[in-house]
Amino acid sequence: MNEALLRSLTPSVLGILVRRGADFAAAEDAVQDALVEAVRVWPADPPRDPKGWLVAVAWRRFLDATRADAARRRREDLVDGEPAPGPASAVDDTLQLYFLCAHPSLTPSSAVALTLRAVGGLTTRQIAQAYLVPEATMAQRISRAKRTVSGVRFDQPGDVATVLRVLYLVFNEGYSGDVDLAAESIRLTRQLAGAIDHPEVAGLLALMLLHHARRATRTAPDGSLVPLAEQDRSRWDTEAIAEGVEILQAALARDRLGEFQAQAAIAALHADAPTAEETDWVQIVEWYDELARLTDSPVVRLNRAVAVGEANGPRAGLAALAALNDSLPRHTAVAAYLHKRDGDLATAARLYAEAAQKAPNLAERDYLTRQAARLNARRCR
Amino acid sequence: MAKYLLLKHYRGAPASVNAAPMDQWTPEEISAHVQYMHDFAARLEETGEFVDSQALAPEGTFVRYDGEGRPPVTDGPFAETKDLIAGWMVIDVDSYERAIELAGELSAAPGAGGEPIHEWLEVRPFLASSPTTTECHLR
C-alpha cells in the first residue's frame, strides 16, 4: 500500500469535491472514508487510475451521507441539480485548499491541524501523536477548524504569507511520533511551490531544505545539542544543500526579496562553508541587515549581534547586544557566548547558568548548563 | 501550541480569598464546585486545548535511596507544613496569554457561599524535549 501516494492525492481529490459543490466539512469526511476504503481494497485490487478511483468513491460517500441526513434533504436537491462531474483540473483546487486551511480566522494550532489533515492527508491519530495530545483533542481541533472555514468561499485566493507561516510552524515542530513533520512540511511546501509561482514559497522551501540537511548532525546520539561550529560537516546532506541553494538562487534572481529568502541566504552561507572558521560572517551580517529591514524583529537583531561578534570580534558583538532588550529569549545565552569569546570566563559562566534557567527546552538547558560547568571547572583548576 | 501545567495545591500556595475549608461548605456548594471543574474540562476538550487532568490523594511520602543493600528511607506522610499538590490539568494552547486566561478562569471555581474561591494556581510551561530549527547560530 503506497501511503505516500494516497497522501499526495488527498488535496486534489478534496478540492474536486468542494469544487463540485460539496460542503468542505462533509467533503473532508467523505475523502477520509475513501482513503480508508483504498487501504482496504487496493492491495488486492489496485486501480489503474488511483485519483479517479478516489474521486468516485469519495463522491459516492458524500452523496450517501447527504442522502442519509434527512435534515439536509434540501442540499441534496441542490447537489443533484449540479452538472454531471467532469474531469476537474486539480492544481488550482489544491492551491485553494492551502489557503483555506491557513485562513486567518483560524488559530495557529487549528490551521496547522487542518493543513496536515486536509492537504497532507494524515490521519487524526497521526497528527495527535506528532503533537503529543490525545486523539480526541486533535479531533475537536480539526472539526472546529472545519466549522470555522465551512462558510469561506473556495474561489478566493488567500494570503500566501499566512500559508507559509503555517508550513513553517509545522516544520519547526520537528520529529515526534511516527510522522516526521519536518519531512512532511517539506513535501507540502514542495507541492505548493509546484502550484504557485512566488519567490517566498521558493525561499521557504530552500530554507527548510538547508536546515533539514544539517538535521542528523544537530544532536549527538544521546540527544544533546551540537552547536553549528562543532557539527560534523561531512555528514551534512549535500544533495539537499545543493537543491536548496539552487532554488534560492533562482528566487533571488527575481529580485523580490522576502524574509524567507533572506533567512535561506544565511543558512546557505553556513552550508557553503567547508569549515566553521571559513564561514563568511561579513556577508551573513549583511543579510541580517536586510532581514532586520524586512521584519523589524528583535530576534533577528539578536542573531545579528552573534554574527557581528564573529565578523568584527566579541566586543563589537557585545556592543550590538547592548542595544537590545535583555528580556529577549536567548539574550542571556548570546551574552554568555560573547563574554566567553572575549576571555571573561567568570562572567560567561555566570551568564550561561542564568541562561540555562530560562531555556525553552531540555536540550538547550542541558547544553547551557554544561557550558557553565565546563567554564567553572576550567576556572577552578 | 505550547503545553502548560496548571497546578492546584492542597497546601503551600498562598491563601485563597474565599478560603473556607471544603468540609464546611454546603453539599450544594460542593456539587457546584465539582460541576464547574467538569464543565471547564469539557469546554477545553471542545476547543481542542485539553491534554490531561488528574486529582491526587492528600497523602504523600518522601522517598530517598539510603545506600547499597538498604531499603529506601521514607519520611512518612507529608507533614502539614509541606507543599502538597492536589491535582493538575495539562493544556495545549496557542500562547502564554491564553494559558494565564484559562488558569484565571479555573481559579474562579465557586466555593463557600457560591462565591469564587480565588485560589492561587501555578502555571508552568513544559520544556519541550528538542529545540525548534528557527534561525539561531547556536545550532
Contact B1 A173 (CB under 8 A): yes
Are the beta carbons of A137 and B136 separated by less than 8 Å? no
User: Which is more confident, A307 or A174?
Assistant: A307
The answer, as to whether pTM is greater than 0.90, is: no
Percent of chain B having pLDDT more than 70? 88
pLDDT exceeds cutoff 70 at A381: no
Does any domain span residue B135? no
Say whether pLDDT at B56 is over 80: yes
Q: Please say if the pLDDT value at position A79 is more than 80.
A: no
pLDDT band at B81 (very low <50, low <70, confident <90, very high): low
ipTM of the complex: 0.83
Share the mean pLDDT of chain A.
90
Per-residue pLDDT band for A154 (boundaries 50, 70, 90) equals confident
For residue A1, the model assigns a pLDDT of 61
SS3 A227: coil
| B48 Cβ under 8 Å from any chain A Cβ | yes
> How far is C-alpha A201 from the geometric centre of its chain's CA atoms?
12
Residue A315's CB: how many other CB atoms inside 10 A?
13
State the CATH number of the domain containing residue B46: 3.30.70.1060
Within 8 A of B47 by CB-CB distance, chain A residues are 140-141, 144
pLDDT of residue B21: 85
Q: Give the model's pLDDT for residue A251.
A: 97
Triad A253, A258, A260: Cα angle to 5°: 100
Average pLDDT over residues B85-112: 95
Pick the more confident residue, A313 or A82. Answer: A313
pLDDT value of residue A355: 96
The Cα of B4 is separated from the nearest Cα of chain A by a number of Å equal to 12
Domain boundaries, chain A: 4-72, 92-195, 197-279
Tell me how close the Cα of B42 comes to any Cα of chain A, in angstroms: 11
Q: Which of A8, A11, A9 is nearest to A154 (CA)?
A: A11
With cut-offs at 50, 70 and 90, classify the pLDDT of residue A348. Answer: very high
Over residues A362-370, mean pLDDT: 92
Residue B139 lies in a domain: no
A361 three-state secondary structure? strand
A219/B45 touch (CB, cutoff 8 Å), yes or no: no
DSSP A81-132: TSPPP----HHHHHHHHHHHHT-TTS-HHHHHHHIIIIIT---HHHHHHHTT
Is there a contact between B126 and B50 (Cβ–Cβ < 8 Å)? no
Question: How far is Cα of residue A298 from the mean position of the Cα atoms in its chain?
Answer: 21
| Residue from the list A107, A136, A306 with its beta carbon closest to the beta carbon of B137 | A306
Residue keyed to cell 473556495: A154
Above 80 in pLDDT, residue A89?
no
pLDDT tens string A317-342: 999 999 999 999 899 999 999 999 99
Query: Mean pLDDT in chain B?
Result: 88
Containing structural domain, residue B115: 2-125
Which pLDDT value is given to residue A167? 96
Q: Do B1 and A136 touch (CB under 8 A)?
A: no
Q: What is the mean pLDDT of residues B32-55?
A: 95
The x, y and z cell numbers of residue B55, run together, are 486529582
If contacts are CB pairs under 8 Å, which of residues 57-116 in chain B contact chain A? Answer: 92-94
Q: Do A132 and B3 touch (CB under 8 A)?
A: yes
Put simply, the answer to whether A303 touches B130 (Cβ < 8 Å) is no
pLDDT tens string A138-152: 999 999 999 999 878
Q: Does residue B138 lie within any of the structural domains?
A: no
pLDDT for B130: 67
The number of folded domains in chain B is 1
- What is the distance in angstroms between the Cα of B99 and the nearest Cα belonging to chain A? 14
**Cell 496536515, residue?**
A116
Q: What is the 3-state secondary structure (H, E, C) of chain B?
A: CEEEEEEEEEECCCCCCCCCCHHHCCHHHHHHHHHHHHHHHHHHHHHCCEEEEEECCCCCEEEECCCCCCCCEEEEECCCCCCEEEEEEEEEECCHHHHHHHHHHHHCCECHHHCECCCCCEEEECCECCCCCCCCCCC
Q: How confident is the model at residue B139 (pLDDT cuts 50, 70, 90)?
A: very low
pLDDT at B131: 66
Contact B133 A211 (CB under 8 A): yes
Say yes or no for a CB contact (<8 Å) between A360 and B129.
no
pLDDT for B129 beyond 80:
no
pLDDT of residue A67: 82
DSSP class of A329: T
Chain A residues touching B138 at Cβ < 8 A: 225, 227-228, 330, 333, 337, 364, 367
B131 in a structural domain:
no
Confidence of residue A283 (pLDDT cuts 50, 70, 90): very high
Confidence band, pLDDT 50/70/90 cuts, at residue A380: low
